[in-house]
Structures are given as C-alpha cells and as structure tokens.
Structure 1
Amino acid sequence: MARSGDERAAPGRARRADAARNAELLLSAAKELFDEYGPEVALDDVARRAGLGNATLYRHFPTRGDLFVAVYADEVDALCLRGAALLHEPSAAEALFDWLDGFIVHVATKRALALAATESPDGRRTELFDRWHESMRSTAESLLIRARDAGAVRSDLSVGDLLALTSAAAMVSADTHHARRLLQFLRRGFEAAETDPPTPFSA
C-alpha cells in the first residue's frame, strides 16, 4: 500500500525535530558550563553535559567560535524578548528598571562570553557585536521613552547615558549583588525630580 505524503514526510520531520532538540540540549549545556567555568571550558565537557557525542556537537557547532556566537545570541534574544514583554507592564518606571536589572547582570556576567564570541583575527564578528548592541539599545530606548513620557525619569536622560552608566557599573562591580546595588544608586539619579532640568544638556 502506498504511503500518504504525511507518512512519507514523517521521517524527515522526525530527524529535524531530533536535530533541533540536540541543538537546544547543547546550547543549554554550554550556557551552564560557561556560567560555571567561563568560556574556556572544554567542548568535550559541553557534549558530555548535554548527553550527546562529540560528533553531534561538531555537526551543529563546527568551531568553538560558532558555539560562543550561538550561546551569546540566545542570551541577547532572551534579554530583548524580556524587554518587549515589559512594555506591556502597567508601570513604565518599574518596567524600565526591571529590564535594567537584567541588563546589568547580563553585562556583569556575560562580558567574557561576549568578547569570546566577537574576537576574531580578521574582525569578521564585529558586525555581530554591533548588531547585538543595537538590539539591546533599541530595547532600552523603547522602555526609556515610555518611562520618560510617563514623567518617571529625567527628561534629559538619553538611552546613551542610560546604557553607558549602567554598563560601567556592571563592569566595575565585584559580583551580581554588587551590580544590582549600584543600579539602585543609579536609579535615584535617573528618576525625575521636582526640579527636573527643562532642557537637555548638549555637548
């Protein structure tokens, strides 16, 4: 009896589903190990943590750089998706500072991974870094504009100011707890006051 089109396609779909599941297992394992030991972790350990063979790892991620890029891209996507969801929160101020809390932890803990994912002798990954930076900047700007329109933050606060100060605090922090503490101090400077300057500073 001839098989239907759906039946003939089933093995192909199953293989694609297996491949997607394996890629997710590898990304999840890599994230865990990078968080625990940094990006210098052995790739064999990634495959072992995922419960897969080395051949499967290299089939999905032929080089260490490919794995770094995939993991960091996933981290940026999650941060930006979180920002998009927060745009629907009732409080514009809490939405902005909730996202900044995630952002400052991201910078404090993922800087080594970001550098590993973008360092290349010929600089080919610079475009990737710029794209990730622009994605996060766009997300921050949307949240900032909403908070500014609500009168919750200073009218002269730009997205460049916001991210520069938050990133600097993340990079000098001792750990994530310290980074979050620094953000609370920054928040007092970001928030609108009764004497909010009427005109932005221009260089």
Structure 2
Amino acid sequence: MARKPLPEPKDTLPNESRPLRADARRNRDTLIEVAAQAFASHGTDASLEDIARRADVGIGTLYRHFPSREHLVEAVYRHEVEALCEAAGTLAGELAPDKALEEWMHRFVGYIATKRGMADSLRILLNSNSKLFADSNGRVPVALAGLIEKAVAAGSIRADVDSTDVLHALSGTYSMPNSPEWHDRSRRLVRLLMDGLRWPVQKG
C-alpha cells in the first residue's frame, strides 16, 4: 500500500522566517522519505551524500534544509511517528479490525527499523530535545489501543488484551540482534502475536 503524502511542513528553512516554496518543500519531503529508507536499511552507515543523490538533489540542498545529521534525524523521526499514527485511522477504515491491527503492527516494525538506524543521533537528541519524544511517543500507544479496541469489539481477537503488553512485545524488536534476519524475525513475531490474539476466538 502506497504511503500517504508527507504532511505540509510547519517549519521553514533554518534561520529563515519565510515559508518554503513549493519546489523547496518537495525537495525537503523527498529527502525525508529517502532518509527514512536509508536509515532503515543501512543504519548509522547511511551516507548523507548518498541520501542527497538518491533524492536527486545536491548535498548543499540537503544541508540547507538539515544543517546536521541530527536535524535530518529529527525530521525523519517526526514524520515516521506521524505516518504510523495516521495509518491507524486509514487502515481501520479500509480493513477488517483484526487485519487492520495486523497490518499496523507490520508498519510498527518498519518504524522500529528506521528508529534503530537512527539510534546514535536519537540519543543525542534525547539529551538536547527531550520535548521531541514527549510530544510524539504518547501518540503511538493511543493509535495501537484504538485498533485493539475495535478488534475486541468486533470479536476478532480475545477480549482480555492489554494494549500496553502488545506494545512492549512489539517494541522488543528494537533490541533484537542486528542481523540480516532481523526483518524476517520481526515479521514472524507479528504473526505469532496475532495468532495468540486470535486463538481463543478461532477455537471458540
């Protein structure tokens, strides 16, 4: 399923007060999309020069929007949280409640993959901009809880589910060993969790 377009940026170029032009906004959005993919695939080895090349802009354009790796990481992190939370409502409107929950959990794994790839920079941001995490982290549990409530109400998963337990299980993928099998293991974990959530309903 294609990802939704990036939300309209509320910020401006660094040290400027005028809004972004349409072409500058497109460049910024593309850089964020490409960077998210690069961080998920290559982690801390992701090259800013390669990100700029894949976004079809010069490295100078990247630095005009994001003066440091941490500025880029912050923008990617905000976008990933926003996309994950918006996906909950979109999926709930398109799929059966248990299928919407399962697909959202797979997207959460993608979010974790990107977050793992930005770990070093996120630690720096945690020390310098803790408000970033306070503003965003609370939204993800709410999105998951809403999907679980809908699936419980529909009778497609067990009724004794605690969304916090499910989130902790999913978040455990963050600390799994970094290996080529990480994505496959994470997808298997989602399937295992969904089997457990559905089991009493299926047996009943």
Secondary structure of the residue aligned to 2:24 is helix
Secondary structure of the residue aligned to 1:157 is coil
Change (3 A) 1:93 1:32: closer
| TM-score, length of structure 2 as denominator length | 0.76
Residue 184 of structure 1 pairs with residue 184 of structure 2: no
* AA matched with 1:80: C
Partner of 2:78: 73
Cα deviation per residue 1:169-201 (whole Å; 9 max; x = unaligned)?
A: 56437321221112222222222626x9xxxxx
C-alpha separation in 1, matches of 2:158 and 2:188: 20
C-alpha separation in 2, matches of 1:23 and 1:66: 12
Secondary structure of the residue aligned to 1:191 is helix
* Structure 1 stretches of 4+ moved >3 Å: none
C-alpha separation in 2, matches of 1:90 and 1:21: 31
CA RMSD of aligned residues (A): 2.9
Superposed displacement of residue 72, structure 1 = 2.0
Partner of 2:143: 139
Kindly name which structure, 1 or 2, has the bigger radius of gyration based on alpha carbons. Answer: 1
C-alpha separation in 2, matches of 1:35 and 1:29: 10
Change (3 A) 1:87 1:119: same
**Residue 32 of structure 2: which of 21, 27, 33 is its match?**
27
* AA matched with 1:139: A
Superposed displacement of residue 155, structure 1 = 2.1
| TM-score, length of structure 1 as denominator length | 0.76
